[in-house]
Chain A
Amino acid sequence: MINRIHASQIAKTAAGALVIALGLSACGSDGGTTTATTTANGSTSATTGTKLAAATLNASGSSFQMTLEQSALAAFTQANPSITINYAGGGSAKGKQDLADKVVDFAGTDSAVKPEDLGKFKGATLLYFPIAAAPIAVTYKLGGVAKLQLSAETVAGIFQGDIAKWDDAKIKADNPGVTMPSTNITIVHRSDGSGTTSNFTKFLVAAATNWKLDKGDTITWPKNSVGAEKNTGVASAVTQTDGAIGYVDFADAKKANLAMASIKNAAGEWSLPSLEGAAAALANVKVADDLTFTAANAAGPGVYPITAPTWVLVYAKQPDKAKGEAVKAYLNFLLTDGQTLAPTVNYAALPTDLAAKAKDQLSKLQIG
């Protein structure tokens, strides 16, 4: 009898303590959320003069644009505190699917919706807003090899499993005078459906006649390759395995200090990933009416051949007024201040005429 009372007393006390702790910590808002500076306000003159109604925008998709997206929304929400934007990442394919399921308000994507997938959107009009482009770096980890040059055919041979060791003849041919170790090559690719994969394989289809694996958000990779989630997952996997090679977006590769290979471009030059190379690739792109385009293996000097564009995808019809206005304001921000922000986080800004075309497309949003 006495012991039983003690047991339930203990339980009650523990429960009480937990509740009190919960109550205390629930008071107040998160620390560290006060805006550090207001200098950003001076440059956000491009945002609408009227104050935006409170809204929460949910988004998911491309991890390629994640760094830019998060930097942009940090600046935008600082200037417009009534708006909250949650960007969940997860890969271009997830973004497009979430948008089709109407679980998100916009999607980040590096690849267009395939014609056979358009049915998912039930006939609704979609708008592609290009926001930036960036190099896809071919990153590798190989002790003792500081500089690596790879032609498109060699890259294709490596990533489809034809070339198994780093001292293969084809790699040596691309790197005269460099001693290559005989380490095994470990291919690292994306396990989730990825616009980065799509753009990388688009390059291989365009530039390498020996590439057999086609292109797309998901392809069938050779056996014994390692699949990792998101660009950052590939970056992690490459850093951890000696002899690994993988394709990562430039921003993450630079931030992680990964070694990057120079790729031979269409003009025959060896080109290291750089924003200038990406800008050169964008200079003469042919843009479709819906503002989709490809910058893979662009012609001309100084081009980095594996340059990938990235878009924000939205429905043209925005039934919720507050959300619609927020989306419009945010897209406007991306196409104005965002373009100045992009190079600071390792993305190439759009050519001015393309940015202008995208801004014009904002009028196609039907809000309310």
Chain B
Amino acid sequence: MTPLAQSRVGRSRKARNFAAVAWMVGAVLVAFIPLLFIIVHVVQKGLGVVLRSFPHFLNDALPLITTNAGGGIRPAIMGTLLMTGAAAAMAIPLGVMGSIYLNEYGRDGRFARILRFFAEVMSGVPSIVMGLFIYTIYTLQKGWTGFGGSLALACLMLPIVIRSSEEMLRLVPNELRQASLALGCPQWRTILSVVMPAAAPGIISGSMLAIARAAGETAPLLFTIGIVSRTNFDLFHGPNTALSQQIYTNAFAGPFPGPQERAWGSALTLIAIVMLCSVVARVVAARFTKVQQS
């Protein structure tokens, strides 16, 4: 406000303005303090566990007796990475190609609109529904497998990848496509060589966020993967475990220091992996925005 205007503002209006500003700043504090407190708590509890006789916690197998202390979470780390990786390998290509269809071919056609609606609806569905679906059609036939978990995670990632990729493709200026077509490039070459590289950072960023989300999920894995105490590299045979599942299981494993420490250590490790993916995603996206603005 200009000084001239300010001098004429009544006291009650000033007071309300102050209250509103206080609300906004207060909101930031009210949100940040507990949120950061939680993170600090997890780091504090987890770091001691992870660093104790490093790298044993990250490298050893899980103890065979859950309520005992000791052991490590390597099976869970490997499980999370393998299952999420397999899920990404299935969901990302399928989702990106689907979004290419939506944005480059279908646009506003009826089929495209139905597909878009389903993807939108599905991205809001509770993850446990995905888990139950895979349990019914896959786990009951093949038993507990890491691949069942991957399938459930892929179902979870698919709508997210489609929506974010479509968003990114839409942001690519049409002039690029027109120029390429005008120069005689067939449409498929245009999409692959012009549109995709332009949208790539955004698509990568969106995919990494989907991966981060999948890595942190517990519900889809509850009934599909069983549990193990030694690393199982075979996703198709035998049960597996994951960091999120270990956190969940150890949280219920009683008032004993062993499982509780394992839970905090797994939580810290999981947060580290998820944060890494998120940070990479945002760095890539930030560069992309700079490109858009240039």
Contacts and interface: CB of A to CB of B under 8 A. Distances in A.
A101 B139 CA distance: 10
Interface stretch (A38-46, A66-74, A194-202, A270-278): A66-74
A337 to B, nearest CB: 16
Interface in A217-261: 228-233, 235-236, 239-240, 252, 255-256
A7 interface: yes
Given A10-B283, A10-B287, A32-B59, A103 B139 contact: yes
B146 interface: no
B71 interface: yes
Interface stretch (B125-133, B183-191, B196-204): B196-204
Contacts of A318: none
13 contacts: A8-B197, A11-B284, A31-B74, A84-B228, A86-B227, A86-B238, A101-B140, A103-B140, A228-B252, A232-B254, A235-B255, A252-B67, A255-B256
B65 A70 contact: yes
A288 interface: no
B66 interface: yes
Nearest to A69: B65
Interface string A75-97: 00100000010101100000000
Interface string A94-125: 00000001110000000000000000000000
Contacts of A50: none
Given A32-B71, A33-B61, A236-B255, 15 more contacts: A3-B290, A3-B291, A3-B294, A7-B284, A8-B197, A8-B204, A11-B200, A11-B284, A26-B233, A29-B231, A32-B59, A66-B66, A74-B65, A86-B227, A86-B238
Interface of B: 55-56, 59-61, 64-67, 70-72, 74-75, 77-78, 81, 85, 139-140, 143-144, 197-198, 200-201, 204, 226-231, 233, 238-239, 252-256, 259, 280, 283-284, 287-288, 290-291, 294
A74 B230 CA distance: 12
A56 interface: yes
A356 interface: no
Interface residues of A, number: 46
Q: Please classify the interface of chain A as helix (H, G, I), strand (E, B), loop, or mixed, using the class held by over half of its residues.
A: helix
Nearest to B85: A22
Contacts of A292: none
A10 B256 contact: no
B81 A4 contact: no
A86 B290 contact: no
A10 B64 contact: no
A58 B239 contact: yes
A232 B22 CA distance: 46
Contacts of B59: 30-32
Contacts of A51: none
Contacts of B280: 10-11, 14
Given A11-B284, A103-B144, A256 B64 contact: no
B89 to A, nearest CB: 12
A101 B138 CA distance: 12
A89 B66 CA distance: 10
B66 A56 contact: no
A37 interface: no
Contacts of A102: 143
Contacts of A255: 67, 254, 256
Contacts of A101: 140
A159 B143 CA distance: 38
Given A33-B230, A236-B252, A103 B61 contact: no
Contacts of A256: 254-256
